[in-house]
Structures are given as C-alpha cells and as structure tokens.
Amino acid sequence: MKYGITFLLCLALSLAAGAQTVTGVWKTIDDETGEPKSHLELFEGDGKLYGKVVKLLKSAPDKRCDKCPGERYNQPILGMIVVVNMEKSEGYYQGGNILDPEKGKWYGCKMWLKEGDPNVLVVRGSIGPFYRTQYWYRQ
C-alpha cells in the first residue's frame, strides 16, 4: 500500500512537471492579423530548443520561402526549422533565433509559458530594442 501511494505521488508530480514544458505542437497566431498561421513543433536537441513547421494554416502546403536568406531560400516552409539554439535560463528560453518566413528575417528570440496558463506560450522576437510578441497555443 505504501509503495502504491508513493508511485501515484511520483506519477502525479511527473505529469505536473511535464505540463510545464514548452516542447510539443503549438498553434502560431499572427500578431498583426490575429489569425492562426501554422502549427509548429518545439523539440529539444543537444540541450537546446528548436522549432519546425509541421502544418500551414494560411498557405498552401507546398509554399516556398522566397524571401528567406541563405540555405533556406526557396525551400518548402512545411518542415522548415524556424526556431534555433534556444537555451533555458531563469524560467524562459533565450539566446536563440526565430525566422519569419513571410518576411525572410531572423530575430533574436525569448519564449516563456504564460504565468498561470501552461497552454499559452509567449514568443518575443527582437532586433535591437524593437520587438514583436506573439501568443501561441498548445495543440
């Protein structure tokens, strides 16, 4: 009986901790129009956080990134890694970059779970002192 209660307690704690992670699939919302844009999967690799476009909601699935710089130029947006090298520090992810495929620009990025709601991710892209903030919703 004692082991059963301990097991249930550990299971409950691990589920609560898992709910606080940013990994998983998120619906991105355009901060300018308020419309859903895509589904993006956040995943960890080599101790850093990355994000890949797994579904396009506003564009055709074969849309290509005609404004993207470098190796992403004219590549399909679906499947593209657009969040790179994010590191967790002091309760949020930072130090990496996020690509806006529609504008073809990379931004510095910070992201964190909204206080009181682990199903809302606050994503802030910045260039110097200027920034844009989006709210993404867990799928």
Q: Tell whether 11 is covered by a domain.
A: no
Question: Higher confidence at residue 90 or residue 6?
Answer: 90
Task: Please give the pLDDT value at position 5.
Answer: 47
Task: Please give the pLDDT value at position 129.
Answer: 94
Per DSSP, what are the bridge partners of residue 125? 109, 132
Q: Tell whether 73 is covered by a domain.
A: yes
Mean pLDDT, the chain, integer:
89
> Are 63 and 53 a contacting pair, CB within 8 Å?
no
Task: Please give the pLDDT value at position 68.
Answer: 97
Instruction: State how many domains the chain has.
Output: 1
Task: Please give the pLDDT value at position 116.
Answer: 96
Task: Please give the pLDDT value at position 15.
Answer: 40
Task: Please give the pLDDT value at position 4.
Answer: 47
Interatomic CA distance for residues 128 and 107, integer angstroms: 9
135-to-14, 31, 58, 65 alpha-carbon distances in Å: 26, 8, 17, 23
Is a pLDDT exceeding 90 seen at residue 37?
yes
The residue length of the chain stands at: 139
83-to-6, 9, 135, 136 alpha-carbon distances in Å: 39, 35, 15, 14
Q: Tell whether 129 is covered by a domain.
A: yes
Q: Tell whether 16 is covered by a domain.
A: no
Confidence band of 9 (pLDDT split at 50, 70, 90): very low
Closest CA to 134 of 14, 124, 126: 124
pLDDT in tens, 75-99: 999 999 999 999 999 889 999 999 9
Q: CATH number, domain at 60?
A: 2.40.128.520
Task: Please give the pLDDT value at position 20.
Answer: 83
Q: Tell whether 9 is covered by a domain.
A: no
Q: Tell whether 17 is covered by a domain.
A: no
Tell me the average pLDDT across 100-128.
Answer: 96
Tell me the average pLDDT across 17-42.
Answer: 88
Q: Tell whether 2 is covered by a domain.
A: no
Task: Please give the pLDDT value at position 32.
Answer: 86
Tell me the average pLDDT across 114-129.
Answer: 96
Q: Tell whether 46 is covered by a domain.
A: yes
Q: Residue 118 sits in which domain range?
A: 23-138
